[in-house]
Structure 1
Amino acid sequence: MSDDAVEYLLPPSRVDGTIELSPYDPQWPATFETLATGIRTALGPVATAVEHVGSTSVPGLPAKPIIDINLLVVDSADEPAYVPALEGIGYVLHLRERGWHQHRLLRLAEPRVNLHVFTTGSPEHDRMITFRDRLRTDPESFERYLATKQRLAAQHWERVQDYADEKSSVVEQILSDSQGSRSSS
């Protein structure tokens, strides 16, 4: 296996149908805070940042009812520094993406969580935070992303990741708009 390959430790999520989006749940931020406290407690100073990302982090945005969390550690490739402690609180390592920012994905079954692990200073983490903040503060970007999500969710998908990948062009457009507005201020 090349270093760029995605290594699935468990099979990718299949949907074989449409994606069900739930209305925004005002409990999502509180659920995140509880989860973040558990992660910080389990990892101590190993966790350099714990951030709520993804659609559940944007007030009013319908989403798959899965809390997405970004965890930053000193070196995400150093799994022994954090994976055993996270497994101790119920997370399961699902995949390694060595060629994409040394990303690791762990999941929790209840509540449903995707825990994305990156190395401190990762540009992908910064990109995700910029996107989240743009949706929180710019109604036009929010509406454009919502319309795209709803249109794509209604289509038939084999894997959840295919749906996520298909949203990437609108994400890039919104991020590009965000960069343009920053440089013109």
Structure 2
Amino acid sequence: MSTFRWLPALVFVTASLAHADGVSDLKRFLSSTTGVQGQFSQTVSGKPGTPVQISSGTFAIQRPGKFRWSYLKPYEQLIVGDGKRVWLYDPDLRQATSKQLSAALESSPAALLAGDNALDKTYTLRNLANRDGLSWVEAVPKSKESTFDSIRLGLKSAQVVAMELQDHFGQTTRVSFSGLTQNPKQSASLFQFTPPKDVDVVEE
């Protein structure tokens, strides 16, 4: 697997029940958050009739630029950002793919999660109407190189509890988060990766 499958992973924010200004809450929370960790469940759906892909796992973020996404089910896969490079490791394929962190952040939702607080430079943000008991924020990437058309964050009770991503291929990725911990103590080894022996390494 030579391309990065970006995971949404998590963002906390503050939201009121009615007339919420999710954009301001998102910026305010990110400015006071250095790290976060928890679990995620994810579904990917395409055109009608195509199979729905379901997966789950754990994640950790240390801002800026460090993150770890671990798919546990149905197959293991690991994505690690060490502050300089991003690694994607697929144990089944025995392959590790690496690319520069700056390029990875500019073209993926990871910029919202692990990047700096200058969201307006990368995304056009706007509040959406409340739906399903959540307040929603839409982030549209400004870069034409982004792999996503739009990213939507569902906010409730001081947490992001849902994320929806629409890509250029007509696929919709929906993620829900649980067990979130803000600013936890995290080991530096979480955000380090060394390719195992006998693994093909691809650099992009």
- TM-score scaled by structure 2? 0.28
Larger relative strand fraction: 2
Q: Greater helix percent: which structure? A: 1
Q: What TM-score comes out, normalization by structure 1 length?
A: 0.29
